[in-house]
Chains A and B, each alone.
Chain A
Amino acid sequence: MKNKKLVAGLIVAMLLVTVSGVFAQQQLYIPLISKGFQHQFWQAVKQGAEQAAKDYKVTITFEGPESETMVDKQIDMLSAALAKKPAALGFAALDSKAALPLLQKAKAANIPVIAFDSGVDSDIPLTTCATDNVAAAAYAADMMAKLINNEGEVAVIVHDQTSRTGIDRRDGFVNRIKAKYPKIKVVDVQYGAGDHLKSTDLAKAIIQAHPNLKGFFGANEGSAIGVMNGVKEMKKIGKIVVIGYDSGAQQIAAIKAGEMNGAITQNPVGIGYKTVECAVKALKGEKFPKVVDTGFYYYDKTNIDDPKIKAVLYQ
């Protein structure tokens, strides 16, 4: 028993030494603390960050809690990352207020903080690498106009009226239609909490109320699926143009099947890449904008299998 313990102890110790040898850091170290890591979206962000780490010859780690509710676990990750005396830090806050004391600590230690994805609600981060949702939704409006020949009634379902992404995507779409397409009328904007079922019911009610509806925009994955379901259940496929946002297995299948005309996808690989790139620039003292647009793509049946698009679609 005693020998066994000793052997076990030795094995653990050896493992630790080996592991530390492998990870010995000669290069600049930049940890990225994200909002998750299991979701395909975050894996794509990680992939982009790893690519940038290779290009700029820095070492990164990418960590996030198992679910987006684990605010305290994310803070534990952040404090472990700071204990490693990193050169810079990438951070996507689950709850900016809860993370503030540690961010202040990072600032005091002169560790540049780069926010990514939804960003951090504080002036400590030097920049935020995220999707320009206004521009992306405006592009969705352009595609919509093209598909309905620049005239007719359209409606919008958004996930909520309080979140930054909800507001930006709604305004991006609606304002572009108003500014550029006088013959198109946005007849209704409703909020479905990103819930598939709720959004489906909303979509059906809107179609019922506006029989001449030509186009429908769903502003996130749940809204888009809801719109598509509504159009399908009202037997209006082909009569109403559906444009979605984000990706996901169901949405990809719907586009392939022709039930959805197309959708905007964010560029998670770009988010990861730009975050590391900005961190490196910050360390070199180079300038960069306060907000870094990581870009977006419009995908439909024609380009969904394009490797460039495939790389940014997540299920």
Chain B
Amino acid sequence: MATAATVKTEGAQKDAFTSSQAKQKILAFSSLVILIVGFSLASPNFFQPANLIAIMLATAVNGVLAVGVNFIIITGGIDLSIGTMMTLTAVMSAQAIVNWHLPIWVGLAVAILTGVICGGLSGVMVAKLKLPPFIATLGMNLFTKGLSLIIAHSKPIYFSDYPAYNQISMGSLFTFTEDFQIPNAVLIFFAVAIVSAIILTKTTFGRYTFAIGSNEEAVRLSGIDTDKWKIAVYAFCGAIVGVAGIMIASRLSSAQPALGQGYELDAIAAVVIGGTSMSGGEGTILGTIIGAFIISTLTNGLRILSVPQEWQIVTTGAIIIFAVYLDILRRRK
């Protein structure tokens, strides 16, 4: 009964914003196309296989983080710890493989488990201790940052003796030509996105994620343990962050313990550009992916055009503001 009621509320809402959400996706997608066409016209060096792969590779880690935090933002929460949590999962993975000499698959499991534990902890702080998500995850940000430095003794842990680990991100299952090899990191990114999209739209977990974001009180009153689902959402995001941790450690052939601060903001920006509302209740994975691609395409394109770095930052900021303003315009209609 309770489930049916929730599904109904959610269904009704879906009708209300399906068209506007579709519009946002088209809008975001056309911005991306405009960027790509514009940069291609402006520089012959932009639309080259090697550069397109560089863009995809630059999107992969941020894209995965964005997909993860998208779930939390849809519940009306926020997670400011994903950047440094990613670092901790990478460090733990390296610790397990390099220093404890465990098999690589155990190292991967350790990364994801670390993410689940940290995410779950944030979830408990938000759901049970009633800390504002902003504060709880800011605390988790510092907590995981410090732990990474302690565990790694403030030095990178190198996977020099484990070339297979580097292949996780940098190997290529799909090699078209010498110049055009899609790195596995990009495939992992797409796989995470597809699985997440299915979970978000086709499962009870996904439905509750939306429901909590649009009206948590109503969901609670219909007899659903919202605390439990909220913790699950933060833990799920943690698992995805663990995947991002593996990807970045693999790409760099090392766990860099000081890295990570600031990465959460790029991921959140991708989510917002992709049309997920910061007040919760709506958002899509496809939008988030497009958002992540917009950021990396913009960054790469401005570099290719040799725009001075200071102006690159200004332009990126302006584009984010512009994208969110368009979203507000759409909402007013």
**B27, B48, B305, B333 — most chain A CB neighbours (10 Å):** B305
Q: Does A179 contact B (CB under 8 A)?
A: no
Q: A16-B39, A17-B41, A95-B252 are in contact. Are A80 and B303 (CB under 8 A)?
A: yes
Query: Are A72 and B54 CB-contacts (below 8 A) given A16-B42, A62-B309, A101-B170?
Result: no
The one of A9, A19, A25, A97 that contacts B253, using a Cβ cutoff of 8 Å? A97
With contact pairs A20-B43, A72-B259 given, residues A98 and B309 touching in the complex (Cβ less than 8 Å): no
- Of B27, B48, B262, most buried by chain A (CB within 10 Å of CB) is B262
Least CB distance from B292 to A in Å reads: 13
CA distance A106 to B27 in the complex (A): 38
Let me know if A19 and B305 touch, CB within 8 A. Answer: yes
Interchain CB contact under 8 A, A13 and B254: no
Given contacts A83-B51, A83-B54, contact A1 B329 (CB under 8 A): yes
Q: In the bound complex, what is the Cα–Cα distance between A16 and B31 (angstroms)?
A: 14
Chain B residues with CB under 8 Å of A75's CB are 251-252
CB-nearest residue of chain A to B160 = A97
A188 at the interface (CB under 8 A from B): no
Q: Quick one: given A79-B54, A97-B160, are A12 and B254 in contact (CB under 8 Å)?
A: no
Known A67-B262, A98-B253; judge A16-B300 contact (CB<8 A).
no
Enumerate A49-80 residues with CB–CB distance to B below 8 Å. 59, 61-64, 66-67, 69-72, 75-77, 79-80
- Interface size grouping (class) on chain A: 35 or more
Contact with A along B14-49 (1 / 0, CB 8 A): 000000000000010010001101110111011010
Q: Is the CB of B307 within 8 A of A80?
A: no
Decide if B45 touches A13 in the complex (CB within 8 Å): no
B248-307 contacts to A (CB < 8 Å): 248, 251-254, 256, 258-262, 299-301, 303-307
Shortest CB-to-CB span from B282 to chain A, Å, is 19
Chain A residues contacting B61 (CB-CB under 8 Å) are 72
What is the minimal beta-carbon distance from A50 to any residue of chain B, in angstroms? 11
A84 interface residue, CB < 8 Å from B? yes
Contact B30 A5 (CB under 8 A): yes
In whole angstroms, how far apart are the Cα atoms of A5 and B329 in the complex? 12
Chain B residue nearest in CB terms to A14: B38
Interface check B158, CB cutoff 8 A = yes
**Nearest-CB distance from B253 to chain A (Å)?**
6
State A81–B43 Cα separation when bound (angstroms): 13
Q: In the assembled complex, which residues on chain B have CB atoms less than 8 Å from the CB atom of A101?
A: 170
B191 at the interface (CB under 8 A from A): no
Q: Is B50 an interface residue (CB 8 A)?
A: yes
Interface: A298 (CB within 8 A): no
Known contacts A67-B262, A97-B253, A13 near B38 by CB under 8 Å: yes
Q: How far does the Cβ of B145 sit from chain A's closest Cβ, in whole Å? A: 10
Q: Chain A residues with Cβ under 8 A from B160's Cβ?
A: 97
In-complex Cβ contact of A23 among B35, B261, B305, B329 (8 A): B305
Q: How many B residues touch A, CB cutoff 8 Å?
A: 47
| SS class, residues of chain B in contact with chain A | helix
Q: Which of A17, A25, A59, A84 is packed against the most chain B CB atoms within 10 Å?
A: A84
Given the interface pairs A71-B256, A101-B170, the reply to whether A23 lies near B303 with Cβ below 8 Å is no
In the complex, A91 has a CB within 8 A of chain B: no
B233 within 8 A of A: no
Which of B30, B41, B306: most chain A Cβ within 10 A?
B306
Docked CA distance A81–B306 (Å): 9
Q: Which of B43-69 contact A (CB under 8 A)?
A: 43, 45-46, 48, 50-51, 54, 57-58, 61
8 Å CB interface, A253-267 against B: none
Query: Is B156 interfacial (CB 8 A cutoff)?
Result: yes
B42 touches A19 (CB 8 A): yes
Q: Which of A17, A37, A85 is in CB contact (< 8 Å) with B45?
A: A85
Residue in A16, A29, A62, A67 whose CB lies within 8 Å of B261: A67
Residues on B with C-beta less than 8 A from A62 are 309
Q: A80 with B54: in contact, given A85-B45, A98-B254 (CB under 8 Å)?
A: yes
User: Which residues of chain A have C-beta atoms less than 8 A from B39's C-beta?
Assistant: 16
User: Does the CB pair B252–A69 fall under 8 Å?
Assistant: no
A84 to B305, CA, bound (A): 9
* B128 CB to nearest chain A CB (Å): 33
**Distance in angstroms between the alpha carbons of A23 and B42 in the assembled complex:** 10
B14 CB, nearest partner CB in chain A, Å? 22
A 103-140 contacts with B by CB, 8 A = none
B27–A5 contact, CB under 8 A? Answer: yes
| Cα-based distance from A64 to B313 in the complex (angstroms) | 12
Residues from chain B with Cβ under 8 Å of A72 in the complex: 61, 248, 251-252, 259
The 9 nearest A-B residue pairs measured at CB: A20-B42, A69-B258, A80-B303, A83-B51, A16-B38, A79-B54, A98-B252, A16-B42, A76-B58
**What would 27 A/B residue contacts be, using CB atoms closer than 8 Å?**
A1-B333, A8-B322, A13-B37, A13-B38, A16-B38, A16-B41, A19-B307, A23-B305, A23-B306, A59-B306, A64-B309, A66-B262, A69-B260, A71-B252, A72-B252, A72-B259, A76-B58, A76-B299, A79-B50, A79-B51, A81-B303, A83-B48, A85-B45, A95-B254, A97-B160, A98-B253, A101-B170
